[in-house]
Chains A and B, each alone.
Chain A
Amino acid sequence: MPIYSEKVMEHFMNPRNVGEIENPDGVGEVGNPVCGDMMTFYIKVKDNHLEDVKFKTFGCGAAIAVSSMVSEMAKGKTLEEAQKITPQLVADELEGLPKNKFHCSNLGAQALNKAIKNYLRQKRKGGGKD
């Protein structure tokens, strides 16, 4: 049996929303290259909704598929809804992840959350562009 589900392979082969957003409203970065995976999420917020989500990822097939899936799940959602995306939900949407990859590669939700927090912090400081 291959180690990855068909869904993981599909997202790995055709990742959605790869790239950066110019002048993003929030940026979130997690992981580091020493442990293997590193993800940066960029968000654009309009009327409390995630108008656009993009990412860049350094990592294995699972890390890339996770990033792609998170971006797809988050796009169009309200900030509150997007913050409810958990690693488990992402893994479920991907029809499962290999056990040993669950923690190291499944950083997408965390990176997205960081980007949202980054946006909220800037907004509080009066720097928000919403």
Chain B
Amino acid sequence: MRWVYLDNAATTPLLPEVREAMLPYLKELFGNPSSLHDWGDAAREAIETARVQVAQLIGANAEEIIFTGSGTESNNFAIKGLALAQQTKGQHVVVSAIEHFSVLHSARTLEKWGFELTLVPVDKYGVVDPEAVRRSIRKDTVLVSVMHANAEVGTIAPIQEIARVTRENNVLFHTDAVAAAGTIPVDVKKLGVDALSLAGNQFYGPKGVGALWVRKGVRIMPLLDGGVQEGGRRAGTENIPAIVGLGKAAEMARVNMAARIEHLTPLRDRLLTELPGKIDHVVVTGHPQHRLPGNASFCVEFIEGESMLMLLNSKGIAVSSGSACTSRALKASHVLIAMGLPHELAQGSILFTLGIDNNYEDVDYALEVLPPIVDRLRQMSPLYAKFTKTGKGGKQHADI
């Protein structure tokens, strides 16, 4: 059977070069970077090399990079740490409605701690309007956070325009660039943000490692107390192999980014244009132009995403879905709902995220395998039966 991995938003595979770079730090170079002997020196040098590599990926200064245990930790650190460090100025934060749960739930935690929260809505493509951000900013607003790109629908946000608004209002701006950094060009100076999160397993690095960039001079309250690792901002002995891997992956992403985008975009576009031609009543979700090069996301009417996912898996294809049934909480994707999709349509969510190992044969295989699966599930679906009998119940999202 053919095996096709189209779930790179969940995690990308580890590049062999990255793995090779990591291995010595799982073997003889096991030292603790806080130690003062040669073993410690080797580990310390490795971290500082990785810090430069990550900084170069996003146009930052190395000393502004803080290594963390994941994109989730970076987001928790940014939202809670930046808000807490400024709470004497005010206790109001603004985040978009389609943020990752590590941002949304961190903001909810701030609410429990006495902060107030405003959620900025998105349009039907999942785009945040910078003017809506402006309207949500108050005198006591201390932090705005809007994600750079949304992994579920691929939409890329107008970060520069939002940064202009936050600067005019003298409010800190964090962006969750976990889905963007290492995939599309991200330059913190051009963007004009104050803090940015990224994660290694989104660009062929290891899992369990991320970074938070915080512009020099911006105060942040540490979440972890302990030693003075990471400039006293993140205590705990560093995960050296993972940090080395993140650095190597960042370097390779920077060098190969243009070629990767050139490789992924036509594959994505083939899926985006050909799937709706092969299956009736399917809508593309996310922005038609401003979207991640590997993201092809859809909602298929009258059927449910997990069933599609499982039948695709039985044909060797790995995808994901934002349907309620696929989430542990059994709730439809908050991203799709925030974009105004009806629940029953969001239930038919299916997400293909391409990676550098994919090729046209993979895409064509998916295009060949999915239509009979959809047909089979529709033959089973009471919603489809109703639709074919009455012509009613179709919820084709207007002009998406």
Contact = CB atoms under 8 A, between A and B. Distances in A.
Contacts of B382: 29, 38-40, 56-58
Given A12-B310, A104-B330, A58 B323 contact: no
Nearest to B385: A56
Given A12-B310, A33-B383, A35-B330, 10 more contacts: A33-B344, A34-B343, A36-B323, A36-B330, A56-B380, A56-B385, A58-B382, A60-B307, A60-B323, A100-B328
Interface stretch (B35-43, B240-248, B298-306): B298-306
Interface size class of A (residues with CB under 8 A): 20 to 34
A37 B325 contact: yes
A105 B330 CA distance: 11
Contacts of B326: 60
Contacts of B323: 36, 60
Given A37-B325, A100-B328, A58 B314 contact: no
A120 interface: no
B347 interface: yes
A70 interface: no
Contact of A64 (B380, B384, B385): B380
B273 interface: no
Interface size class of B (residues with CB under 8 A): 20 to 34
A127 interface: no
Contacts of A33: 343-344, 347, 383
Contacts of B347: 33, 36, 58
A128 interface: no
Contacts of B384: 58
Nearest to A60: B325
Contact of B381 (A29, A35, A57, A101): A57
Nearest to A67: B380
Contacts of A40: 382, 385
B5 to A, nearest CB: 17
Contacts of B332: 36
B318 to A, nearest CB: 14
Interface stretch (A13-21, A75-83, A88-96): A13-21
B303 A58 contact: yes
B249 interface: no
Interface string A54-67: 00111111111000
Interface string B357-400: 00000000000000000000001111111000000000000000
15 contacts: A12-B307, A20-B385, A33-B343, A33-B383, A36-B330, A36-B347, A37-B304, A40-B382, A56-B382, A58-B303, A58-B381, A58-B384, A62-B325, A64-B307, A104-B330
B296 interface: no
Interface string A103-129: 011000000000000000000000000
Contacts of A35: 324, 330
A61 B303 contact: no
Contact of A59 (B314, B325, B328, B385): B325
A51 to B, nearest CB: 22
Interface centre among A13, A59, A64, A105 (most CB of B within 10 A): A59
Contact of B380 (A15, A62, A101, A105): A15
A100 B330 CA distance: 8
Contacts of B302: 58
B383 A59 contact: no
B324 A38 contact: no
A118 B201 CA distance: 54
Contacts of B328: 100
A128 B180 CA distance: 63
Pick the 7 closest A-B CB pairs, nearest first. Answer: A60-B325, A33-B344, A60-B306, A56-B382, A34-B343, A36-B324, A40-B382
Contacts of A12: 307, 310
A101 B304 CA distance: 15
B383 A61 contact: no
